[in-house]
Amino acid sequence: MQKDIKRLSLILLFAPFTLWILLLVVLPHIGMVILSLREKVAPRVYEFGFGNYLEFLHEPIYWNTLIRTGSMSLLVTALALIIGFPIAYYIAKIAGPRARGGLFLLCLIPLWVSDLIRSFGWILLLRETGVISSFLVWTGLIGTPVEFLYNDAAVIVGLVYTVILFMIVPLVSTLDGMDNSMIEAGYNLGGNGFTVLRRIIIPYAMPGIVAGCIVTFMLTAGSYLTPILLGGKNSSWFTEQIYNQFITRFNWEGGAAFGMLLLLFTSLVIWLGLKLSGQTLANTVAKS
Amino acid sequence: MLAQNKTTPFLLGYRLYVVTFFIFLAAPLISAGAFAFNDSLFPALPWQGFTLDWFFGDTEPKLGMFHDRRLLQGLYYSFVIAIFVAALSVFVGTTNAFLFVRGDFPAKNFFYIMMVVPLVIPGVILGISILVLASDTANMMERRFAIELEFLRPGILLVVLGQFSFIATITSLVITARLKKFDETMEEAAYNLGASRARVLRTITLPFLRPAMIAAGIVAFLVSFENFNTTLFLVGSEAPLTITMYDRMAKVGSTPVLNAVSFFLMVGSGLLALMSVLIQRDKTAR
């Protein structure tokens, strides 16, 4: 009787989980794989084949966009780590206990604001009639207004801004759990600041670093708004290609293939990152 | 500590860096919000004086956000979608928490990873994959049985499902973390005192989880409200606010009314976020 109840409740608990994962994650992706393998041979006539993927390989603009998206995402991830780590360290270890909570909350504020508004803010700052340009003209540093928008640097600044919180939050929570005496021991054993950082702090923070990098990379590679709004017409982001295939050209087969490629690509990078750092998905992302 | 053994200039430089970083964080938000109050037709310098027209103005060209039908409609749809997503995600998050903290079944680790996976799938891909499955199903039903399933076409339901598919992971993680801290002897004590399972759940376990459930609900609401990537592919004629705003920005060009909406949303989500922080701190600080 007791055992039956346990069984029943387990099944009842499993039901929502299964419905969710099966209907909204597993089946849609299977459907997408099948769709991506359908080749259009004539109007309304389809055949099984790898045509959609071959088209990707034959058209340099497609794979160039994917490579560009990937390399820029890696750059953004690296920048977010380099800029974010000192901030996380400051919040977790240097700030006083009172300031700590406040600074952490301040860090989270942009998280609660839509991507759209953040990009909009950057547009207002960077464009030709924008705040920075007007300010520089006013100070006399430049003679005529300058367009800071619609170039790769603007895209990178916007992306770093959008994702850096997802780097800082896991870093703060891992660094927070680190015992200060470990750092002191490092100094007592004669290490200088750099050695302590390299041999003690970074290895300890590794799960947080990996978690932050995974989420950051994934969000960057999958982002749509920031590259398009800040990069303008020639942002060439891969998600834009997917959107064009799906909505503009109504070529769902091609779009599904592109979606699979992006998914495979990001999964591959994440898998490599996990392998190289010796971490698992469960003890990094799931913890933050 | 890293900085203590260093001379003061190092620490000073470090502080300066932190301050610069926070200016960097605040700059675009301030510029997005501040121009809502500029008495000009364009969100740009110079400053033309203070006005509230972009909120309350009722005539063109300075039509304020509270008189703009399409923006208000977007706000309404966003609100409806976010409420459904939050309710569904909290429910599934709670059952998942019980499943993974209390349940004992084979391949638990595998299922746990499956639960986390939606968070690392790009939102665009979640959107198109759900669009593809729903359309395929609808097309098949139409061809085989001549039944038109309108709800599987892009629209509110698909938007809710698409957002729910990854927001449920967030709520599950938040509520699971809380349930892990639960002291099971409290339940045992209640059983020993003769309480039934349902009663223990209602009077002991769920009240313990409540702060996490509320906080998770607020997070789900906000994430849903600001979502764009997944929504973009699933949206029908009832466009939520982010989509309406994006259309404005891309097609019409920006006017300070968008700043007014931005300001409104920032204040709203700021208050909600503060609430979730207070709720969690209140009960967990022991």
Tokens of A133: 């340009």
Which of A7, A11, A22, A24 to substitute to test the interface with B, most B CBs within 10 Å?
A24
Core vs surface per residue A169-202: b (16+ CB within 10 A) or e: bbbbbbbeebeeeebeebbeeebebeebbeebbe
* CATH hierarchy code of domain B69-253: 1.10.3720.10
Query: Whole-angstrom Cα distance, residue A106 to residue A122?
Result: 19
Angle between helices A60-89 and B8-34 (to 10 degrees): 120
Task: Assess whether pLDDT exceeds 50 at residue B1.
Answer: no
Going through chain B in order, the beta strands assigned E by DSSP cover: 58-59, 62-63
Cβ neighbours of residue B281 closer than 8 Å, sequence gap 6 or more: none
Contact A25 B222 (CB under 8 A): no
> Quick check: A266 pLDDT over 70?
yes
Q: In this prediction, what percent of chain A has a pLDDT beyond 90? A: 7
Whether pLDDT at B2 is above 70: no
- Residues A76 and A166: their CA atoms lie apart, in Å, by 12
Residues B184, B187, B189, B193, Cα dihedral to 10°: -170
Element (H, E) at B73: helix B69-102
Interface test with A, best of B30, B111, B128 (most A CBs within 10 A): B128
* CATH superfamily, region A51-284: MetI-like (1.10.3720.10)
pLDDT at B192: 85
ipTM: 0.82
Mutate to test the interface with A, among B40, B125, B136, B264 (most CBs of A within 10 A): B125
Which residue, among B16, B40, B65, B120, would best test binding to A if mutated, counting the most A CBs under 10 Å from its CB? B120
Across chain A, what does the average pLDDT equal?
Answer: 83
For residue A206, what pLDDT band results from cuts at 50, 70 and 90?
Answer: confident
The Cα A125–Cα A226 span in angstroms is 14
The answer, for B51 touching chain A at a CB cutoff of 8 Å, is no
- Of A117-126, A186-195, A229-238, the range with the lowest mean pLDDT is A186-195
The pLDDT score that the predictor gives to residue B3 is: 46
Minimum mean pLDDT range among A72-86, A195-209, A256-270, B86-100:
A195-209
Q: In percent, how much of chain A has pLDDT > 70?
A: 95
Q: Looking at the complex, report in whole angstroms how far the Cα of residue A146 sits from the nearest Cα belonging to chain B.
A: 14
Identify from B45, B175, B248, B261 which residue to disrupt to test chain A contact, counting A C-beta atoms within 10 A and taking the largest count: B45
Tokens 């702090």 -> residue: A201
Short-list A107, A82, A104, A77, CA closest to A93: A104
Residues 22-61 of A with CB under 8 A from B: 24-25, 27-29, 31-32, 35
Question: Which band of pLDDT confidence, cut at 50, 70 and 90, is reported for residue A284?
Answer: low
pLDDT at A282: 64
B101 φ/ψ angles, rounded to the nearest 5 degrees: -90, -45
What is the largest distance, in Å, between two alpha-carbon atoms of chain B? 79
In sequence order, the β-bridge partners of residue A47 are: A39
Nearest CA in chain A to B95: A13
pLDDT (0 to 100) of residue B167: 92
Between residues B280 and B138, the one the model is more confident about = B138
Measure CA B190 to chain center.
Answer: 36
Q: What local confidence, expressed as pLDDT, does residue B32 receive?
A: 83
Domain boundaries along the sequence of chain A: 1-36, 51-284
- Residue ranges covered by each domain of chain B: 69-253
CB within 8 Å of chain A, chain B residues 88-127: 91-92, 95-96, 98-99, 103-105, 109, 111-126
The B residues from 233 to 262 touching A (CB cutoff 8 Å) are 233, 242, 245-246, 249, 254, 258-259, 262
**Best to test chain B binding among A26, A117, A173, A274 (most B CBs inside 10 Å):** A117
Q: What is the spatial distance between Cα A114 and Cα B269, in angstroms, rounded to a whole number?
A: 9
Q: Quick check: B25 and A197 CB within 8 A? A: no
CA–CA dist A69, A287 (Å, integer): 27
State whether residue B57 is helix, strand or coil.
coil
Nearest chain B residue to A258 by CA distance is: B125
Contact of B229 with chain A, judged by CB distance below 8 Å, is answered with yes
Please say if the pLDDT value at position B285 is more than 70: no
Q: Is A202 on the interface with B (CB under 8 A)?
A: no
Quick check: A197 pLDDT over 60? yes
Q: Given CB atoms, is A105 within the 8 Å cutoff of chain B?
A: yes
Query: What is the overall mean pLDDT for chain B?
Result: 83
State mean pLDDT over B109-121: 86
Structure confidence at residue A1 (pLDDT): 63
Chain B neighbors of A2, CB-CB under 8 A: none
Q: Which positions in chain B touch A273 (Cβ < 8 Å)?
A: none
Q: Which residue of A has its CA nearest to B91?
A: A16
pTM over 0.90, yes/no: no
Please report which confidence band the pLDDT of residue B286 belongs to, taking 50, 70 and 90 as the band edges: very low
- Once rounded to an integer, what is the mean pLDDT over residues A104-132? 81
> Measured between beta carbons, which residues in chain B are less than 8 angstroms from residue A282?
109, 112-113, 116
CA quadruple A193, A195, A198, A201: dihedral, nearest 10: -60
pLDDT of residue A198 exceeding 80: no
Percentage of residues of chain B with pLDDT beyond 70 = 90
- In tens, the pLDDT along B41-76 reads 777 666 777 777 777 767 666 677 777 788 888 889
Q: How far is CA A16 from CA A84, B88, B159, B172, B180, in A?
A: 37, 10, 19, 12, 20
Q: Cβ contacts (< 8 Å) between A87 and chain B: which residues?
A: 18, 21
Q: Which residue's entry shows tokens 């890696």?
A: A74
Query: Cα–Cα distance between A77 and B196 in angstroms, integer?
Result: 52
Per-residue pLDDT tens over the stretch B143-172:
888 877 777 888 889 999 999 999 999 899
Tell me, yes or no, if B266 comes closer than 8 A to chain A by beta carbon: yes
Neighbours of B216 (CB within 10 A): 29
- pLDDT tens digits along B217-273: 988 998 898 888 888 888 888 888 888 888 888 776 677 888 888 888 888 888 888
pLDDT of res. A75: 94
* CB of B251 closer than 8 Å to CB of B171: no
Q: Which positions in chain B touch A11 (Cβ < 8 Å)?
A: none
Q: Which residue has the higher pLDDT, B240 or A3?
A: B240
B78 vs B7, higher pLDDT: B78
A120 and B32 within 8 Å at the Cβ level: the answer is yes
Q: Which residue has the higher pLDDT, B39 or A283?
A: B39
Q: How many residue pairs bridge chain A and chain B with CB atoms within 8 Å of each other? A: 243
On chain B, the residues whose CB falls within 8 A of the CB of A108 are 273
Task: Encode pLDDT of A143-176 as tens digits.
Answer: 777 778 888 888 999 999 988 888 888 888 888 8
Facing residues of A38 across strands? A48
Contacts of A134 in chain B (CB under 8 A): 44-46
| Contact: A247, B222; criterion CB under 8 Å | no
**CA nearest neighbour of B217 among B158, B279, B284, B261:** B279
Tell if the CB–CB gap between A17 and B92 is shorter than 8 Å.
Answer: yes
More confident residue, A238 or B46: A238
**Residue B66 near chain A (CB below 8 Å):** no
Q: Who wins on pLDDT, A81 or A145?
A: A81
User: Residue B59: beta bridge partners?
Assistant: B62
B25 pLDDT tier (thresholds 50, 70, 90): confident
Instruction: In whole angstroms, give the CA distance from residue B145 to residue A93.
Output: 65
What was the pLDDT predicted at B282?
Answer: 55
Given a contact cutoff of 8 angstroms between Cβ atoms, the answer to whether B89 and B167 are in contact is yes
Rounded distance, CA B116 to CA B100, Å? 12
